Amino acid sequence: MLDNETINIVQSTAPILKENSKQIGQRFYQLLYSKAPELYNVFNQTNQKKGIQQEALGYSVYAAGEHITNLDAIKPVIERITQKHRAIGIKPEQYPIVGETLLHAVKDVLGEAATDEILDAWGKAYGYIADAFIQIEKELYQETAHQSGGWEDYRAFYIKNKVKESDVVTSFYLKPKDGQPIATYKAGQYLTIKAEIPGEKYTHIRHYSLSDAPGKDYYRISVKREDAHGDAPAGIVSNYLHNQVQEGDTLQFSAPAGDFVLKTAKNPVVLISGGIGITPLLSMLNRTVEQNQNQEVTFIHATTNSQTHAFKDYVAKLAHNNKNIKSIVCYSAPTKEDQHFDKKGFIDLELLEANLPSNEVDFYFCGPIPFMQAINKMLKQLNISSDHIYYEVFSPIAMLENE
């Protein structure tokens, strides 16, 4: 346990790190890659270019420092990070260089304000936090490898089927090349791909939500092709999967992971998705249909129009055939041909309020950051307890209220 002096220094200086979190994150990755260039093969370079990874690091450091005496207070952040660390294969021996580089970055950004006393305190705090992460990740590695159908590191899967779901989304049905059983998963979790792409200098690792119910002899991921727009670069892996990978090709995946999962409660559920955020929620919807046909489900999906609407006919059929499922579709820019949707524009407070099944409802949502911030704000306005709100962020940043 940390001594009181160290705790006081860390907690008193945490706001300073928060104020400079973006610059610290940027400097950290500059230094890290110069010290350990092999980590280019681990971290998402697209997120690096967007500055997302840097902001995520800065936020995580600040949050851990602020709650150094009660890490349970940031349990969602810790769960999300440790699950992703297990998925991409972070090992205990990688923690020391990260800590060393982090302190170097803090010193470079804060200058004389980062005294030896402050750096020493944060060094001790980092060691304490790293030990906690390492222990959690050790348990995750063991649990994953020892479960039925589980495996360590990455495993070869071949593409059994490649199915176009919309103009921008394609599904990939994956079966193990060794023909052995595969691990089950919880609805809402993801697979992690390690892609060796021709012409790319580094390996690229990405997480893709599993879009079908668990319990099958295959995995299915549904991937949106990310095209370049404005300052945002095209998605390297998504374009590789859409344009180059074909049925029969082999890809490497780690075992399912993730903390955004469907709970076992019998409360009515509202599943809210924006764009490609439909994928984990579709897994939850399918799971509910298979396991609990009496549970009330409201499935709200927002997208541009029918051309970008993945699984449109499938969800409509589910709702038609299951009286406990209600489907609501919002198109922000419907085409002239679009007839079958419920609202033009965005999901708003009025729509949510009109479709609340009861007071005891569990809400799950996923989509782009601005979409999720808006949904989270509306749920708060409806006085929905945080105990009934669950979400997945397709970025390294874990807490909507701090984005």
Determine the pLDDT at residue 140.
Answer: 96
The Cα angle at residue 151 between residues 255 and 75, in degrees rounded to 5? 50
Which one from 29, 95, 219, 240 is the annotated catalytic residue? Answer: 95
Domain(s) of CATH 1.10.490.10: residues in the chain: 4-146
Q: Which residues contact 311 (CB under 8 A, 6 or more apart)?
A: 165, 222, 278, 282
Letter for the amino acid at 287? R
Determine the pLDDT at residue 175.
Answer: 98
Residue 21, exposed/middle/buried by CB under 10 A (0-12, 13-18, 19+)?
Answer: buried
For this structure, is 185 an active site residue?
Answer: no
For this structure, is 59 an active site residue?
Answer: no
269-402: CATH number: 3.40.50.80
From first to last of its 403 residues, the chain has per-residue pLDDT tens of 789 999 999 999 999 988 888 888 889 888 988 988 888 887 766 665 555 555 666 667 778 888 898 888 888 888 888 999 999 999 999 999 989 999 999 999 999 999 999 999 999 999 999 999 999 999 999 999 999 999 999 999 999 999 999 999 999 999 999 999 999 999 999 999 999 999 998 899 999 999 999 999 999 999 999 998 887 788 899 999 999 999 999 999 999 999 999 987 778 999 999 999 999 999 999 999 998 778 899 999 999 999 999 999 999 999 999 999 999 999 999 999 998 999 999 999 999 999 887 768 999 999 998 999 999 999 999 999 988 999 987 655 544 554 4
155-164: strand order across its sheet: 204-209, 190-195, 250-257, 155-164, 169-176, 219-224
Q: What CATH fold (topology level) applies to the domain 4-146? A: Globin-like (1.10.490)
Global pTM value: 0.91
* Residue 342, both tokens: 């419920």
At 210-230, the pLDDT tens digits run: 999 999 999 999 999 999 888
Determine the pLDDT at residue 291.
Answer: 86
Q: Which residues contact 65 (CB under 8 A, 6 or more apart)?
A: 10, 11, 13, 14, 17, 122, 125
At 297-343, the pLDDT tens digits run: 999 999 999 999 999 999 999 999 999 999 999 999 999 999 899 99
- 165, 315 Cβ separation under 8 angstroms: no
H or E stretch covering 221: strand 219-224
Determine the pLDDT at residue 356.
Answer: 84
Domain(s) of CATH 3.40.50.80: residues in the chain: 269-402
157/67 Cα distance (integer angstroms): 41
Neighbours of 381 (CB within 10 A): 11
Domain(s) of CATH 2.40.30.10: residues in the chain: 155-257
Determine the pLDDT at residue 4.
Answer: 94
The SS3 of residue 178 is coil
H or E stretch covering 334: none
Residue that the structure tokens 């099958």 belong to: 216
The SS3 of residue 68 is coil
Determine the pLDDT at residue 55.
Answer: 61
> Which stretches of 235-324 are assigned E, i.e. beta strand?
250-257, 269-274, 297-303
317/263 Cα distance (integer angstroms): 24
Determine the pLDDT at residue 192.
Answer: 97
Which one from 29, 59, 62, 137 is the annotated catalytic residue? Answer: 137
Q: What CATH fold (topology level) applies to the domain 155-257? A: Elongation Factor Tu (Ef-tu); domain 3 (2.40.30)
Nearest in space to 288 (alpha carbons), one of 276, 302, 271: 271
